[in-house]
A and B are shown apart, each in its own frame.
Chain A
Amino acid sequence: MSHKVIVPIGPYHPLQEEPEFFQLYVEGEKVVDIDIIIGYNHRGIEKICESKHYDQIAFVVERICGICSSSHPYAYVLAVEDILGGEGAVVPERALYIRTIIDELQRIHSHLLWLGLAGHFIGYNTVWMWAWKYREPILDMFEMITGNRNNYAMFKVGGVRRDIKEEDLPLLNKTLDELLPALEMFRGAVMDDPVIQARLKGAGILTKEQAIEWCVIGPTARASGVNIDVRRDEPYGALLLGTIDWNVVLQKEGDVYAKTLVRIFEMQDSVNIIRQCLKKLPNGPIDADVKDIPPGEGIGRVEAPRGECIHYIKSDGTNRPVRHKIRAPSFMNVASNKVAAVGGTIADATITLAAVDPCYCCTERVAVINRSTDKKIMNGWDLIKLSQEKTNKIKEMLL
């Protein structure tokens, strides 16, 4: 008779992101089922938005997620501009470029953050420290352009709030130039290191069919070979103008290794987009000074670092929306753990759950509990240790 044990992960964890609660059902080492319990972070933002006027909401939605704190306001202003006739019709050209610069900078900082944490989970703390070290200049760029390291407050209906100053451009370009070798090093470290390959290849596979069936989006879907990217399917910002060269990054395998590669290539792509934007930055106003929002409905879609982020606005002609609906990307991706983590081992569960970047990292608060006795077998550190030990074992085997 098999002995089934539950591994609860979360809801409070010392690393980052929303408190989420995973329960892994394990038999020996093998994960046989997974439950996802959310609701620890519900703050009623949609309802708050209905009591705020259009200018204020941009600040409210910024605080949905601190890592995507430009994607949510961007999707929101796109939704409002959809009522006004579309982003291209309302927003001045310079503002479009600035919006794309902020959006892509945020993608780099988010992916670097994920890369660091993924490194930590598989026992490469050096990767964690390095990735976060190279993330700091990005935050400095944010501080230079927007005045804050996080929560940029850049987006408003009809434009952006702050301009990029001419005298900042050389330093911005220099920072980007210095970032490229670092990204190249990370690419080399992931693609050439036999230990990382042995650890990540084949872990948490999500096939293309499963990816479509579970409606995953963003890098998680692109790593499984599903060719979706809102930036291409429904362009926004400077990408709308068709003057920027860039590609959608695709991988086929669908394992954690592919997801890592997708994120690294996307960062390199983002650097290219930002450099082109800085070069082509036109002169002109940055704000269209929108006064009234007519009655109507609008939808805004933005490719956040984790996938497609959708905002829906219904206006009745007053200065407040009647309804504001938000669909964040992790909502779609988290459920795919149900197929990706099942069948793997507990040691792989940590990195598999983290690989969709649900801002997860709950593992530090994990505890393995025997269902019949409720006795604790393992705590969060043990789980990460398990994951790190597996890496060490592979290392010894290969050396």
Chain B
Amino acid sequence: MDFKLSALTKSIWVFHVSAGSCNNCDIEILDLLTPRHDVERFGIQLVGSVRHADALLITGAMNKKAVVRMKKIYEQAPKPCVVVAVGQCALSRHLFRYSYNVEEPLDKILPVDLYIPGCPPKPEAMIDGIVKLVNKLKSKK
């Protein structure tokens, strides 16, 4: 296993980007950190800068103004970096696919590694998703 990849599976630091979501996914992500779910016990931590991030948690249907900045954010992330699409908007643009200002779903813009569906996904679903991702990375030789 690649050294960098094996380091990634130990304790994932996530950077959360709200790319035009309705905040529900965002507050559920924050909810992960608070006493009931407390993902910090697994080493998962929110970081303040994308340059420290192992994973990008992206929520929301990206509008035209956000797409440009989203690409820049991804370029700034240290690689290998996993991209997680959280919520229905990031997966398929949800009902905003009818909007004049939302042109492409996330996976046409960035390589997405993990999809977590739901509007919003429950915190349990997010933890489950991250665990699956870590297991998948570990099985990669």
Contacts and interface: CB of A to CB of B under 8 A. Distances in A.
Interface of A: 11-19, 39-45, 47-48, 51, 59-60, 63-67, 69, 113, 116, 128-129, 132-133, 136, 149-151, 359, 364-365, 379-381, 384
Contact of A150 (B17, B27, B63, B66): B27
Contacts, number: 125
A132 B95 contact: no
A69 B30 CA distance: 17
B3 interface: no
B110 to A, nearest CB: 14
Interface residues of B, number: 41
A150 B24 contact: yes
Closest 4 pairs between A and B when the two form their complex, measured CB to CB = A66-B24, A132-B34, A66-B23, A44-B99
B121 to A, nearest CB: 10
B27 A19 contact: no
A382 B19 CA distance: 23
Contacts of B120: 66, 149-151
A365 B101 CA distance: 24
B119 interface: yes
Interface string B27-59: 110110011100000000011110000000000
Contacts of A381: 48-49
Nearest to B25: A66
Most chain A CB atoms below 10 A, which of B26, B35, B36: B26
A140 B11 CA distance: 30
Contact of B35 (A65, A129, A149, A384): A129
A379 B22 contact: no
B26 A17 contact: yes
B23 A67 contact: yes
A381 B28 CA distance: 22
Nearest to A67: B23
B73 A63 contact: no
Given A12-B19, A16-B18, A150-B120, A42 B101 contact: yes
Given A40-B66, A359-B23, A365-B48, 15 more contacts: A12-B18, A14-B16, A14-B17, A14-B48, A16-B23, A18-B18, A19-B20, A19-B66, A44-B99, A63-B22, A132-B34, A136-B34, A149-B120, A150-B24, A379-B49
B63 A42 contact: yes
